[in-house]
Chain A
Amino acid sequence: MSGNAVIAEAAIAAGCRFYAGYPITPSSEIAAVMAEELPKVGGVFIQMEDEIASMGAIIGASLGGMKALTATSGPGFSLKQENLGFACMAEVPCVVVNVMRGGPSTGLPTLPAQGDVMQARWGTHGDHPIIALYPADLTEMYWQTVRAFNLAEKYRTPVILLSDELLGHMSERVEIPDASELTIIDRRKPDVAPDQYLPYDVKTELVPPMANFFEGYRYHVTGLTHDETGFPTEDPDLAEAQLRRLMLKVSANADDIMEWEEDGLADAEVAIFAYGAAARSARAAIAELRAAGIKVGLFRPITIWPFPEAALVKAVSHAKALFVVEMNMGQMIREVERGIRDVPIVGIHKVSGQPIDPEEIVLTVREFLEGKVTLPQKAVYQMSV
């Protein structure tokens, strides 16, 4: 089963019943499977006229009470940013998949990259909360897809599920959990009468309950800064309170949202930070280095945003060096550098459209241990493989 097919199957298992999208390589198989499978479970599939409209359609579907998904790749992800910001602002749960390919622009349509990890954080304008998950194998892809819907519903916010061409198009053995093993979270509905409902209440809780349209509640939905009822306001106190609440939904719940993997770090003299497809390369390199008696461990964020900085600092602080392996020119390495003060950081970056060969990591680590890599350095361009 391919990574893209896994996302579609897991989305349906998570309760997704609406898909709107515009086909784009390397994400199109998600749409193909949804088109085939959604009607069988009473869901709706719409191929929209473009990427922007697809994002608009899933926002509408979600306001109407459906769990909704769209999938795209870099160029489409750029187009979705305006409506993605609208979903953050209007607090509309939805899941956006970005199967990353080489960029910028139309770039390398059929080849993998990890160049959109910062776009996932800051692609839409203004301060806004964002959750982004990025699995590294296809069983995990299943679980994290379900989790993406759960987090969207729980925190009433869009969740970005990142993948890449390598994971999207590859197939491997996938352990599909039984439906009974899954925890499915649905949005909390109001327990007050419609005339007392405040969809954007700032006073009582971080995530106000969400009424679905057509269930007796009506409220105003806008991208403008709004008051508790949803109507626009320029009141400075309300504007400040609403945006702070919006951000706090994610930052105050970061412990619930963040997941990461630590493997073999306890006794590691060298640590590797990698995620998504690059983590596959890192794992293979670590296996080879460990077989040669070199103690190397992996820190792998599964939740990319919010970034599990404290956990990373704690896990790698005793290492002689931290290697950051990414299929971009150096994006998460900046985030790593913000937290790590005392461990030299070496970047291994590749943007050729080819995955990073584990041997390239093995060589760089060996060169470092042999003293051939001069430290300290700003690694971003020097160590490109």
Chain B
Amino acid sequence: MSIRRDRYEIRFSGEGGQGVILGGAILAEAAILHEGRFAVQSPQYGSRVRGGPTKVDVIISDLPILFPRATKIDFFLALAQMSYNKYANGLADDAVLLIDANLVPNVNENGRYVHRLPIVEIAKVELGNEVLSSSVALGAVIALTGIVRPDAAWKAIEARVPAKVKELNRKAFERGLKAGESLKG
């Protein structure tokens, strides 16, 4: 897959509490701090912090970024149906989507590539904690897009998560990477 180097737009969406905004911050930090590129992370959420639809736009570029919100999304992640419904707009014609296979049943593919992965189930059942969802998702996003190097992303995750859950997050991130690789086929 060829990546737009001048402006690659990613949107993560989900429910408040799933960690998508933090996931976006980690991705931007990986690009800025560990790859020396430009990135912005711009979240949006409502007054209802937990349970309401949230999204975060991450734009990564070789050049300074003027407008900090996505206008033509290259990659869209949805971990909840309501956030898909609300925020799956402004997608590029060739946008790639990654959706939670269980939680986002209704997707309008419209000729676009839609990857399905039971992200929250992997975190909850396989790894034992739903809060690992965003690390699983990050791994899958990075495998699918190659937007930052996995080691850069891991350094950024490591800097953000508490020491006692570092190992769990590493497992989750690697599980996501593996799943993303196999989705690519």
Contact = CB atoms under 8 A, between A and B. Distances in A.
Nearest to B37: A173
A284 B67 contact: yes
A109 interface: yes
Contacts of A172: 28, 32, 38-41, 65, 68
Contacts, number: 53
Max chain A Cβ within 10 angstroms of own Cβ: one of B28, B29, B66: B66
Contacts of B40: 170-172
A176 to B, nearest CB: 12
A358 B71 contact: yes
B8 interface: no
A317 interface: no
A181 to B, nearest CB: 20
Interface in A236-290: 280-281, 283-284, 287
Given A109-B47, A110-B47, A357-B71, A169 B42 contact: yes
A25 B44 CA distance: 12
A283 B66 contact: yes
Interface string B38-65: 1111111111000000000000000001
B123 interface: no
B119 interface: no
B158 to A, nearest CB: 17
B66 A355 contact: no
Given A109-B47, A110-B44, A169-B43, A281 B67 contact: yes
A286 to B, nearest CB: 9
A218 to B, nearest CB: 47
Contact of B39 (A109, A173, A287, A358): A173
Contact of A280 (B25, B32, B45, B68): B68
A173 B42 CA distance: 12
Given A171-B41, A173-B38, 9 more contacts: A110-B45, A111-B44, A170-B40, A170-B41, A170-B42, A172-B41, A283-B67, A357-B69, A359-B71
Interface of B: 25, 28-29, 32, 38-47, 65-69, 71
26 contacts: A25-B47, A110-B44, A110-B45, A110-B47, A166-B68, A169-B42, A169-B43, A170-B42, A171-B29, A171-B41, A172-B28, A172-B39, A172-B40, A172-B41, A172-B65, A173-B32, A280-B66, A280-B67, A281-B67, A283-B66, A283-B67, A355-B68, A357-B67, A357-B69, A357-B71, A358-B67
Interface of A: 25, 109-111, 166, 169-173, 280-281, 283-284, 287, 355, 357-359
